[in-house]
Chain A
Amino acid sequence: GAVVSQHPSWVICKSGTSVKIECRSLDFQATTMFWYRQFPKQSLMLMATSNEGSKATYEQGVEKDKFLINHASLTLSTLTVTSAHPEDSSFYICSARDTYLQETQYFGPGTRLLVL
């Protein structure tokens, strides 16, 4: 149980294009999902908290117009990197918090984004 999937697992895109990353909780409901960014050999940095049916809460320094988050259902959140640039290349990881076991987050396998 407690499986979180991400799609795609990796993506290469041209500078200026937009990329959408999906995060799904497969066997539990997730009222809250989180999006993290991880640079090589570094820790995870929380980008935003996504709540089903409401606007995401962004961490300081994260551009909300750059990183669009939608959490339209209890099992799906999406992160769209708009007008991507090479500096957006990174490993993006989502996590989902079980609605009924709220202290624990389950992590997806991550999406590696490379912007050329």
Chain B
Amino acid sequence: AQSVTQPDIHITVSEGASLELRCNYSYGATPYLFWYVQSPGQGLQLLLKYFSGDTLVQGIKGFEAEFKRSQSSFNLRKPSVHWSDAAEYFCAVGLSGGYNKLIFGAGTRLAVHP
């Protein structure tokens, strides 16, 4: 069955430090991969997506993610975290075909210390 694993429930980093949020997926076909960010009480905002091509994708707010097929991973990175990046981050797999349903990971809550 399709699944998405985000191993880290909570991560705390200092402002200005680098960040990497892990995401592993299980899906038989080539996945569509997404990272979304959710601020408290808000809906989800798309940070970036991968469908095909260059495995390193750039997103908004200075985020990037790298698709590694051999590791079934799509980790999110940012070289220097800002206090405003504190939020919940969700990795998702889009199932190809049909209605492209999204399967979400459990999320990683990011806290940023000044």
Contact = CB atoms under 8 A, between A and B. Distances in A.
A binds B: yes
Contacts of B105: 43
Contact of A32 (B49, B94, B99, B107): B99
Provide the main secondary structure of the chain A interface.
Answer: strand
User: Which range holds the interface residue count of chain A?
Assistant: 20 to 34
Contacts of A93: 43-44
Contacts of A46: 101-103
A91 B49 CA distance: 24
Given A93-B43, A103-B51, A110-B41, A51 B104 contact: no
Contact of A103 (B44, B45, B49): B49
A97 B90 contact: no
A77 interface: no
Interface string A6-27: 1000000000000000000000
Interface of A: 4, 6, 32, 34, 41-46, 49, 51, 57, 93, 95, 97, 102-110, 112
B43 A107 contact: yes
A105 B101 CA distance: 9
Given A107-B36, A109-B42, 6 more contacts: A44-B90, A44-B102, A95-B44, A102-B100, A103-B100, A109-B43
